[in-house]
Amino acid sequence: MIQAKVKQVLINILFIVLAFTVQNCVFPLLPFLSATPNLLLILTFSFGFIHGKNAGMLYGILSGLLLDLFYSGPFGFYTLIYVYIGYVNGIFTKYYYEDYITLPLILSIVNGLWYSLYVYVFRFLIRGRLNLPYYFRNIILPEIIFTAVTTLLIYRLFLSASRRVEDIGKRRDKNLV
């Protein structure tokens, strides 16, 4: 059982690194995207939603640290919001059903809005850029829409991978007994 958990954690870390790479190295090169989906946000809230508060915070720390190391600014800026997102979404674990997509979609929209407003307040509003309607219309809304649509695909992929790792762990435990 422990070996299956370790394998699942390693696969999830691989997902985070892959999502970070695609989000920051591939999506900016696509000229037809006016906004890019926030893959790390999707994975962080999915990990929290499926595996609970502690897992959500762990993966939130990993996602936030990757962004903090990649982008300049105060260290811990992204880590803080991702840890909160992982924790809060971990509270919804008790409402988790494997094939239930409505709640993850709603959480994606709420988390995207929460994340974007956090960035707006602490990156733009503090510097005197007060044009929230412009920021909302041109940055927040397209990113939330792309993130919600991408959630439909990524969440299913992650859920499938989690099921397979759990099934392998259960089969291995049955063979040992």
Contacts of 78 (CB under 8 A, 6+ apart): 63, 64, 65, 67, 68, 71
Higher pLDDT pick, 72 / 89:
89
Query: How would residue 169 be classed by pLDDT, with cut points 50, 70 and 90?
Result: low
Model pTM above 0.95: no
Amino acid 83: pLDDT: 96
116-143 pLDDT, tens per residue?
A: 999 999 988 888 878 889 999 988 999 9
Alpha helices in 22-76 (DSSP H): 39-51, 53-70
Query: How would residue 62 be classed by pLDDT, with cut points 50, 70 and 90?
Result: very high
Q: Quickly name the fold that domain 2-172 has.
A: Arp2/3 complex 21 kDa subunit ARPC3 (1.10.1760)
* Helix (DSSP H) and strand (DSSP E) numbers for the chain: 7, 0
Round to whole Å and give the CA distance between 149 and 162. 21
